[in-house]
Amino acid sequence: MFPGFDALPEALRPLAKPKTAAPQAAPVSSSPEQALVDCGVYADGHRLPGKYTYDAALREVRRIELTGQAAFVWIGLREPDELEMQDVADVFGLHPLAVEDAVHAHQRPKLERYDETLFLVLKTVNYVPHESVVLAREIVETGEIMIFVGRDFVVTVRHGDHGGLSEVRKRMDSDPEQLRLGPYAVMHAISDYVVDHYLSVTNLMETDIDAIEEVAFEPSRKLDVEPIYLLKREVVELRRCVHPLSGAFARMQTENKDLISKEVRRYLRDVADHQTEAADQIASYDEMLNSLVHAALARVGMQQNMDMRKISAWAGIVAVPTMIAGIYGMNFQFMPELNEWWGYPAVVGTMVIISLFLYRNFRNRNWL
């Protein structure tokens, strides 16, 4: 307040007040369920009606278990932040290391066990449609799905613009027999869904590899090495998504028999077979692309040799008249044919005849 403010008329006081900084809005904390996609409670193979929060869903499951029925909760999250994930971790007792991996993503496919909870990381893949391999900038895009599985809960965390699990949930909701197998049946269904996409993407990539292979071995077409390197990069990305799962599925069969029932392990073996099939296809594509890279480099080297032969042939043809012109350009006084009227035509004719002779020989040897 400045001096003399009280002496001003009442109507002018608002205009004379000094300006102050606008009040800053208080930071708004993230809602604990901002990333929540779905939260369902399942009992005896059927989903119970109603909407639940995390803790309410778990309480309902524990209440049902007291009656002797098997029940579990399935929670789906998409790209949660630290506050959202910590809220879930507090309710279900998730390990901090696994929670950190679920928040930051970009993890290698793996299987970890924290006491009675399994933590499975799956890489999702999606084929990007394109008109031609030559014009494409990306063929395969990747995402991630993390699965926490406990005795009576499943928590899925998804990262990426693809790989939604709504189809899996609908299929499971319509199959009570599978749901009665418990939370690990959900883990199997998600793994089966992801691995089936591996096979679909590898089959689609086979068309691209066949197309670039046709171009690589067609003599009349110029080969661009860049599309081959693009395919090679995408196959390497696929291999990083698929190959590490071999160890994860093997550990499910050997180290976690106390958690996963025998029936679910049978289903998981089928998923492991599909994963092995996809891994074998990717390995064959990798070898094929290596062969294409070597073929492309050999073709480039052959083309360079052809160019060098042409340059050498033309240099040999031009060297003859250059040599003759250099000799007669020395300006000596006594040289043959200098004083003869037929000297100039004879020298020019000799140049032409020798040049044509060399051209014919080089042509016959396929140097020109």
Tens-place pLDDT, residues 312-353: 888 888 888 888 788 777 777 667 766 777 777 887 888 888
The CATH fold assigned to 36-300 is: Beta Polymerase; domain 2 (3.30.460)
The pLDDT value recorded for residue 221 is: 64
Q: Would you say residue 27 has pLDDT above 80? A: no
Sequence ranges of the domains in the chain: 36-300, 304-364
**Single-letter code of the amino acid located at 368:** L
If one compares 6 and 35, the residue with the highest pLDDT of the two is 35
Q: How confident is the model at residue 18 (pLDDT cuts 50, 70, 90)?
A: very low
Region 304-364: CATH code: 1.20.58.340
Is the pLDDT score of 173 beyond 80?
yes
H or E element, residue 93: none
Distance in angstroms (rounded) separating the CA atoms of residues 291 and 260? 43
Distance of CA 25 to the CA centre of its chain: 40
CB 95 within 8 A of CB 119: yes
Report the range out of 36-40, 133-137, 152-156, 203-207 with the highest average pLDDT.
Answer: 152-156
Q: Residue 125 in contact with residue 141, Cβ under 8 Å?
A: yes
Name the least confident of 46-60, 212-226, 267-281: 212-226
Least confident of 36-50, 135-149, 216-230, 274-288: 216-230
Say what the pTM is.
0.74
Helix, strand, coil tally for the chain in percent (to 5): 55, 15, 30
Q: Who wins on pLDDT, 197 or 309?
A: 197
Q: Can you name the residues that pair with 123 across neighbouring β-strands?
A: 144
| Residues in CB range of 259: below 8 A, 6 or more apart | 113, 116, 118, 149, 184
- The least confident of 48-57, 79-88, 241-250, 290-299 is 290-299
* pLDDT at residue 149, rounded to an integer: 94
Q: Is the pLDDT of residue 54 over 70?
A: yes
* Beta-bridge partners for 47: 42
Could you write out the DSSP letters of every residue in 98-130?
A: HHHHHHH--PPSEEEEETTEEEEEEEEEEE---
Confidence band for 270, pLDDT divided at 50, 70 and 90: very high
The reported pLDDT for the residue numbered 222 is 67
Range with top average pLDDT, 14-28, 47-61, 353-367:
47-61
| pLDDT tens-digit series, residues 106-160 | 888 999 999 889 999 999 998 888 877 777 788 888 889 999 999 899 999 999 8
Q: What percent of the chain has pLDDT over 90?
A: 26
| Averaged pLDDT score across all residues of the chain | 82
